[in-house]
Amino acid sequence: MAATYQIKVFGKQGCDKCHTLNQRLEKLLSIKEYRQFEKVYCDVESLDGLVAFSEAECINPSRIPAMLVTIWDADEEEYVPVQTKEPGAPDSVCKKAKLYQYLGLQTDYSEIGKGVISPKMIKTVLAEATTA
């Protein structure tokens, strides 16, 4: 097992926002504080990426890019989604970008979200994972 947590990033080729999310995560995960995380990119236009996206069961396809935090489950011998501590609770940092049931983010293209997943939002989600 490589890492305790695996972040599945859902995106597609040619998407600038997907590229930005990947870069932000790579930069963040290069910091020692986040060594228990690894990132896996899932291109939703490939068969494997589409299967991973479908198995996630919690992301709106019109809100890509998105990310889902998973944790290694030794009994299942696979990564499983981390449950959100308080589903639906207001989040002043992530707002409507935060997933409902599982820990992660999806792009909020409304006037409030402006289509941005910020480094602060990512850090907030990863902090919640490690305090679960």
pLDDT digits (tens, 9 = 90+) for 25-51: 999 999 999 999 999 999 999 999 999
Listed in sequence order, the residues at least 6 apart from 81 whose beta carbon sits closer than 8 Å to its beta carbon are 56, 58, 68, 69, 70, 101, 102, 103, 104
Percent of the chain whose pLDDT exceeds 90 = 88
Mean predicted confidence (pLDDT) in 50-64: 94
What's the pLDDT band for 132 if we cut at 50, 70, 90? low
Is residue 6 classed as helix, strand or coil in its secondary structure?
Answer: strand
Alpha-helix residue ranges (DSSP H) falling in the chain = 16-29, 47-56, 119-130
Secondary structure tally for the chain: helices H, strands E: 3, 5
Rounded Cα distance, 104 and 5, in Å: 12
The CATH code of domain 5-130 reads 3.40.30.10
pTM: 0.94
What is the reported pLDDT for 100? 93
Mean predicted confidence (pLDDT) in 86-99: 91
What is the reported pLDDT for 88? 85
